[in-house]
Amino acid sequence: MRSEAAVTGIGMITPAGLTTESTWATVCQGHSLARTDPDLAGLPVDISCRVDGFDADAVHGRRLARRLDRFIHLALVAAQQAVRDAELDPATWNAPRVAVILGVGGNSMHSYFREFEVLSEGHPELVSPLALPRSVPSMAAAEVAIALDARGPNFTVASACASGATALAVAAEMVTSGACDIALAGGAESGLSPMTVTSFQQMHALSERTDAPHRASRPFDVDRDGFVLAEGAAVLVLEHPRNALRRGADQRALLCGHASTSDAYHPVAPHPEGTGVEHALRTALQESGLHARDIGHINAHGTSTPFGDKAEARALHRVFGPVPPPVTAPKSILGHALGAAGAIEAALTVLTQQHQLIPPTANLDRQDGDWELDIVTQAPRATAINASVSNAFGFGGQNTVLVFAEA
């Protein structure tokens, strides 16, 4: 028997919207949200996908907002939304049985950047005592636990751009094993500091279409040249299906299979044949008890990098045959939110399955001829979906695949 974790709540804050509903509606429109970023003025790459209209002082209160860094602001919003969506009450839940597992790709550089300037100017006494606790990756999960009185297991997963998906996989194991009753799991990231952007640009990982930001992110397109950095957060509430049924919770989907593998190939480049991806796909499907033919939709990692998209497409063909299930690549619209991306796209995969509607991929004009996929473009596609796959990969050859089925 396959082990399953029920998704009973979703919270999202992304460049597409401040809520799950607004994010879903905008993603279904299929237009890229990349634009010139005034905060990156003067850099060789000055485009990004930011979360607009979010006032941390208004949402969290000025005192708390000042104590936290941007990625934690976003994590708190997503977690609180997810708990409300699941119709859970932190005042009455069994707090020691509630876990928080979040994925964060790396240290936030927003606050550190300012503190480094103070230190380099010879004023160590002016460095904020909050510099560490507002910025280290583990504090996203810690602050969510403090805000919601979740006293169970609490930690952060770091597997580069697969972090959010890996956190969901770890949380599902904890729920199904009985280590906790409820897990708030997902990812949060805001990698839009000048240093972060410059570092990725120096690696030639970013699109340099700064004259046409809305055309920059183009997964699987023959003219792709890199991704657009983004920020955001998504948190899913996971419960054992038996517990969800007992309390009458709406089960949005079942996380019924997952796998994590390593390419063990290169610090930043994927294996050119996607062998680690293929292994993760086959293992996740085997764990789910499903076959490749049962999958009706694939949410691709699809970063818009020349080598990454090709490796993913090759792996999909080997696992699913000459005509893989319909594919979408949300980074074409939302940009790449690094450690949060896997969680955001897992949430979108659940919504796709619920609505039986696949959002389109933006900016796909022409695929490479030797590995074409059935990529949804132009407009959402209505189709029957009983099970879906969500892919997330990262530097160091990190691969995580999640399989969702109807509840």
- The Cα–Cα gap between 185 and 168 comes to 5
- The Cα–Cα gap between 245 and 9 comes to 14
Distance of alpha carbon 332 from its chain centroid, rounded?
Answer: 14
Nearest to 103 by CA among 178, 12, 20, 169: 169
Tokens of 112: 């550190």
CA dist 92 → 88, 180, 233 (Å): 8, 16, 26
Residues in the chain: 407
3-state secondary structure of 103: strand
DSSP states of 361-399: BSS---B-GGG---B-BSS-EE---SEEEEEEEETTTEE
Residues with catalytic roles: 161, 301, 336
Annotate 111-139 with b (16+ C-beta within 10 A) or e (fewer): bbeebeeeeeeeeeeeeeeebebbbbbeb
- The Cα–Cα gap between 112 and 60 comes to 21
Nearest to 297 by CA among 378, 231, 361, 371: 361
Q: Would you state the torsion angle of the CA atoms of residues 46, 47, 51, 53, taken in this order, to the nearest 10 degrees?
A: 70
Residue with tokens 């691969």: 399
- Termini Cα distance of the chain: 15
Annotate 358-378 with b (16+ C-beta within 10 A) or e (fewer): bbbbbbbeebeeebebebbbe
Distance of alpha carbon 337 from its chain centroid, rounded?
Answer: 7
State the alpha helices, DSSP H only, in 241-361: 241-246, 275-288, 306-320, 331-334, 341-355
